[in-house]
Amino acid sequence: MKRESLGHLIAFFTVFVWGLTFVSTKVLLDSFTPAEILFIRFLLGFIALFIIYPKKAKIFKIKDEILFIAAGLFGICLYLLLENTALSYTFASNVGMLVSISPFISALLAYLFLKDEKLNFMFFLGMVLALTGVSFIIFNGTVVLEINPLGDILALLAAVSWAFYSLFVKKISFLGIHPVQSTRKIFFYGLLFTLPYLLYTGFHIEQEDVLNIKNISNLLFLGFGASALCFVTWSYAVNILGTVKTSIYIYFIPVMTVISSMIILNEKLTLYSVIGIILIVTGLFLSNKKH
């Protein structure tokens, strides 16, 4: 298999799993707060990565170590906290729409800071089609869009946070460190940044919630699958494809969420969702054409 084809396969697998996390998190929110889920999820992920690859990662020069610190802050702590908090102030459709523009921001940042990233007309055409498809899935025929400035600003900041994370991951890949080691370091810094917020909001977990088999299975999935495994595979994909092409796969997440919601939550697949999926797949194909 060609290296680029492998990169696309890895990127698709990653967003496939991440698309399931919305359903899994929705189940856990009945027992835990968003901050508690975030901390437990990435603590499990950190432990899993340490067991898989216990070799200690070296400490880099300050300017290189700052990349890991920034990736932990933007990709783990800020992104998820901003996204979850935004949902408390505005509609999920607003948050989903605003967060989904992160590939645009990633592309612009990569164009400005990474010399190997190029943008062309087909890329922008595909992005527009994909974003339109995301809109069909998120709004699902609803034409009423209410705006809450605070919630929408937080959602937009979440998109910016993920875009910066993708940029930092690409720059980290140039350091030659093993992806498991780099991801583990990012998790560590992310946990450090999340801990003060968790202590401020409170950490109140009941024993029966922890021992609940449904909660255990979902936490293990989020910790080991969506976090430990997928953050490593995402780093691999970024290293192979670049920030721009990999970020486009984020548009597949709503597709996976729709499918998993049908299977697990028995939600119906509407005409708008079907149109959205077709637009996203078409946009992804066009954005990856070289000419």
Considering only the C-alpha atoms of the chain, give the largest distance between any 2 of them, rounded to a whole number of Å: 57
What's the pLDDT score for residue 73?
Answer: 95
What's the pLDDT score for residue 32?
Answer: 87
What's the pLDDT score for residue 93?
Answer: 55
What average pLDDT values come out for the chain (291 residues) when binned by 10 residues? Answer: 86 87 80 87 92 81 90 92 75 65 76 68 82 74 55 82 87 85 92 90 79 91 91 85 79 74 71 79 73 51
pTM, whole model, 2 decimals? 0.76
